[in-house]
Amino acid sequence: MNAKTVSRRRLAIKEAPERLSPPIVVEPLYQCATAVTVIGFVPEAQIDVEVNGALVTTAPGGFPWPKGVTIALPNALVAGNTVRARQRTPQLTSGWSNPVGVRDHTADYPAGPPRPQIDPAPVFQCGLRTGVGNLLTGSNVWITADGAEVGRVNGASQHQGVNVNPAYGLGEYVRAWSEMCKDPSPPSVGHVTQIPPAPLPVLTFDPVYEGGQQVTVREVVNGARVALYRNGVLMGTWPCWGGGLTVSGLTPIASGDVFRASQAMCPGDPPSHPGETTALPCGALPAPQVGPVQAGDTQITLTQFVPDAAISVYLNGMLVGLGSGPVVILSRAIAMGDALYIVQDLRGCRSHFALEVQVLCVDPPVRGNPSALDLFPVGFFDYQSSGLKGRVFYPAIDDSANQPFNERLAGVRRAPIVFMAHGNHDPSDPSFLGYDYFQRDLAKMGVIAVSIDCNSLNGGYGGVQNIEDRADLIIEHIAYFQALDTTAGSIFFGHVDFARVGLMGHSRGGDAVVTVPTVIALAGVTIRAVLALAPTNFRFRAGLPTIAPQGYAFMTILPAGDGDVSDNNGAQFYDQAKPAPFKSQLYVHYTNHNYFNRIWLEDDSQWTQPQPAVVARWEHERILTSYGCALFRARLLSHSTWQYLSGDLLPSGVLTQHAHRSYEWAKVVTVDNHEDGNTIGTNSRGQPTSQLSGMSANEYAFGQDPAAYNSSFYGESTGMVIASGQAGRIFRTALPTPRDLTRREVWIRAAEVTDGRAVIGASTGFELGLEDGNGFRAWVDTDMVGGLPRPYARDPGRVKTMLQTLRFKGACFRAGKFRIESVRAILIRCDRSDRHAFALDDLQIV
Amino acid sequence: MSTDASQPLEGGPEPRWDLPKILDIRIRRIAFEPRRHRHFASSLGRVGEAIEFLVTTDGPVPARAMAPVLFVGDAPVFESESLGENRLRFLAFDVARLQPDAPITWGWGHARPEERLETRFRFRPEG
């Protein structure tokens, strides 16, 4: 993201607001909800709520942060209703928000509402308030302690605070429950109340500014009472679910006002020492900060802002949004190259600073995490039968070992199943226990997750037969679960859907799960997705053809710092795979081979020194479970989580800046994949290419192959290398007929070519251009679509030219008389003077 | 509030993947039949004949993703299995690539020539 803070006074913007942005009705809305939550309005706006075109209620919004306003409705919602909201100030009235359709929750949650989450956990003795998340807006939520109800809110928000009365005792078993339309959710994970920390932490304050009306304190213990003083005068005492507490509605704060706060838990125990802050003058109010902004966006997401500030967004000098964090709706879509200016103002303070953002073509938003879906309790057990051994996690009626299968889910449909196979490791270690975090994440969303003990095949040897042995073992486990599915009395009796099978294999297990679909002959088994994590490819080493994954969605994760499978053989499988309906590759910098498995303790990257330090083990785990759940949800549960693999979205809480994606859909227009054997002079559409202004490009094997451009390629494909040269050289590839790319994207896999020994010079890039039927051209730089990553600087000899997919939106190509409606050629222009060579492949129109 | 200043914790332990020393290699031509699987036929089923290398080492071969590989000259022999403590059987299927009297080295599957370990043995099949 290109953003910097600038002085507001220098901006040529019209400061008098003429319009308010519509607020946002929090989605989804479900039948029976007795309340709606609205966010994004300016402080103290009036909120009108309309159902089916009729104004049903008006309520003061108060302060929009941190929870918006949850407004009770005169009547419960009914499926098919549409709900809108608008905001009003004495001077201005916004337009109505986009209508939100009301659905029956059983359409989205046929097995009942998702299970609540006590958030934050844990819960403490003497706690007075507990946060409950993962709720459906408008549902009813209550808390029990040792089975007795101690707090309730009807018409809840998605993350609801529940006051507890009486306060928790020590050692009580606390659970949260919810219902929607009298349809109960499973209970939350149970938490046993603990002795609160002693001494209690000193509270801290977020910066407080002159003119503000809110104060946020941090370090609050879950369930504590917080006493707030202003200039020595008690403002009140609030219960807090823990973490942060925002107090709203203060009279405007003056510079120099002193705020103190302390927290207490059990009567008789000492409160915390007080924390203190002094209000800063208006001149210190900073510019807000925003998340990624890209062409086509119609809203901005704020990542840092003062909670009671009104946020104004100016586009090319005109006000296009006025609301509040965390999301402001814009009155028009923004385009690549637009300059956005974003300011925040308090009631008594206009910020002196603005955030200037240059809009990129592609800069995907961070939105949710595909591993976060939490619907069911999780049961598990170890099995051992006829030489087979493993551990299975599954959606259950409650958490713990040997629980019955979740009967609500069973009543709706059979559950998909994923089989996981670890790789070669010391056979005295229980490697199959190393993916429990991934198994649990799948099970809580309704997927049975089996981890197979492959230790009988582990040791200091290997080869194609060993991989085939592993594939055979995996199939035997699938057959075993087929038997459980047909065995009365089994937990899985009648519950498994073998038409929705996924496979995950790590290391040699990855090699094996790619083999399984080519040899499996079990009746009734359909493999829909395969994840090969840092796989070996023993067939390649033995001189046999690499298996081409086909008939299922294939994904591979390649640790760039892999010190064991240091050739990243999964790239060969990706290159050979046929998208069905997609294929996906993640080349992840600063990760190693072992840390995805909790049992494998060694940092293998140290075997191939020098290497950069790898990220922590839990960062590896987040990568696997986030992207792995994205794959399996997309193919086994028909969720749209493929967007995390294609790069449309980024998962939160994941080091996505290190994950370099390749992705390909089936049924797109491939302009050139260089696999046709028709020389560099002709593309895959049978159209001519041309090399202009000193361009020197040719086709080469992209792999460990004597015909490769150099030894830095590790996949198994043919691609194109643009040799080093002067700036301005152009490669042109023609389309058979003019095409309208207005709503299309141009995708290309690209990399900076390394010599395999070192990462030299500074970062580089190129421009991708489109040429219309009249010869007019428009260009977009790679820096506008996320940039070309540097090669991973690992041990000399294993620095790789690893391609990733760059996406250029058609709408970003704008210049003079150029017409995006009739594109007849795609161009690559090397406009840098750094003389880097480039590797390119799979030029597609998507 | 007191403020600490400490040193970063060590990363994970370094793996110990050094190969043991080869004490003996016995080489012979054999009829090859792949192991029988429960659910499919091996892709190696048509090989028919192989060169067998019975290797004795002075210690166990570490278990990792990569497998140990014998190199007859520059020809790799990838297929291996355990015959018990410190004993391995390697199988070469592409017999024509094995040059008589070529020196035998060994290393991990992706070992570069300079990373291979020398042995005192040469490719001299029995009989």
CATH superfamily of A204-283: Immunoglobulins (2.60.40.10)
d(CA B11, CA B9): 6
- As averages over each run of 10 residues, the pLDDT of chain A (846 residues) reads 90 79 94 92 95 96 90 94 96 94 95 97 98 95 98 94 97 97 96 97 97 96 98 97 95 96 96 97 96 96 93 91 93 94 92 95 96 98 96 97 97 97 98 98 98 98 97 98 97 98 98 98 98 97 94 98 97 98 98 98 95 96 98 98 98 97 97 96 98 96 95 97 94 97 97 94 95 97 95 96 98 96 97 91 98
d(CA A491, CA A489): 6
Would you report the helix, strand and coil content of chain A in percent, each value rounded to 5?
A: 15, 35, 50
Instruction: Please give the residue of chain A at the shortest CA–CA distance from B8.
Output: A613
Q: How far is B8 from chain A (nearest CA, A)?
A: 12
Give the model's pLDDT for residue B1: 58
Give the model's pLDDT for residue A50: 97
Give the model's pLDDT for residue A578: 98
d(CA A223, CA A191): 14
Interface test with A, best of B64, B77, B81 (most A CBs within 10 A): B64
Cβ–Cβ below 8 Å for B39 and A468? no
Domains A2-15+289-358 and A24-108 share a fold: yes
The answer to whether residues A323 and A23 touch, using CB atoms and an 8 Å cutoff, is yes
Structurally, at CATH architecture level, domain A669-845 sits in: Sandwich (2.60)
Structurally, at CATH architecture level, domain A24-108 sits in: Sandwich (2.60)
Cβ–Cβ below 8 Å for A461 and B80? yes
Cβ–Cβ below 8 Å for B66 and A425? no
Please name every residue paired with A529 in a beta bridge, in sequence order, or none if there are none: A502, A553
A632's enclosing H/E stretch is helix A617-636
User: Least CB-CB distance to A606: which of B14, B35, B65?
Assistant: B14
Give the model's pLDDT for residue A14: 76
Q: What CATH number labels A2-15+289-358?
A: 2.60.40
Q: Which fold has domain B22-122?
A: Immunoglobulin-like (2.60.40)
How is chain A split into domains, by residue range? 2-15+289-358, 24-108, 117-192, 204-283, 378-665, 669-845
d(CA A478, CA A456): 17
Give the model's pLDDT for residue A783: 96
Give the model's pLDDT for residue B11: 80
Cβ–Cβ below 8 Å for B80 and A463? yes
Region at B73 (left for phi over 0; alpha for psi -120 to 50; beta for the rest): left
Interface test with B, best of A202, A218, A386, A461 (most B CBs within 10 A): A461
Residue A601's CB: how many other CB atoms inside 10 A? 13
Residue A483, chain B, CB below 8 Å: the answer is no
- Between the alpha carbon of residue B89 and those of residues A401, A456, B30, B77, B85, the distances in Å are 42, 17, 12, 11, 12
d(CA A297, CA A302): 14
Instruction: Please give the residue of chain A at the shortest CA–CA distance from B35.
Output: A465
Q: How far is B119 from chain A (nearest CA, A)?
A: 18
Selecting from 3.30.450.40, 3.40.50.1820, 3.40.50.1000, 1.10.287.110, what CATH number does the domain A378-665 have?
Answer: 3.40.50.1820
- Tokens matching residue A583: 């294929």
Measured between beta carbons, the chain A residues lying within 8 angstroms of B65 are: 423-424, 507-508, 534, 536, 564-565, 593
| Residue position matching structure tokens 């490791």 | A425
Instruction: Name the percent of chain B lying above pLDDT 90.
Output: 76
Interface test with A, best of B18, B36, B39 (most A CBs within 10 A): B39
Interface of A with B in 758-797 (CB under 8 A): 797
Instruction: Please give the residue of chain B at the shortest CA–CA distance from A473.
Output: B38
Cβ–Cβ below 8 Å for A567 and B110? yes
d(CA B93, CA B77): 8
d(CA A799, CA A596): 22
**pTM for this predicted structure:** 0.96
Q: Which fold has domain A117-192?
A: Immunoglobulin-like (2.60.40)
User: Least CB-CB distance to A521: which of B39, B78, B80?
Assistant: B39
Query: Does residue B39 surpass a pLDDT of 70?
Result: yes
Interface of B with A in 10-29 (CB under 8 A): 11-15, 17
Measured between beta carbons, the chain A residues lying within 8 angstroms of B44 are: 464-465, 468
Interface test with B, best of A218, A564, A606 (most B CBs within 10 A): A564
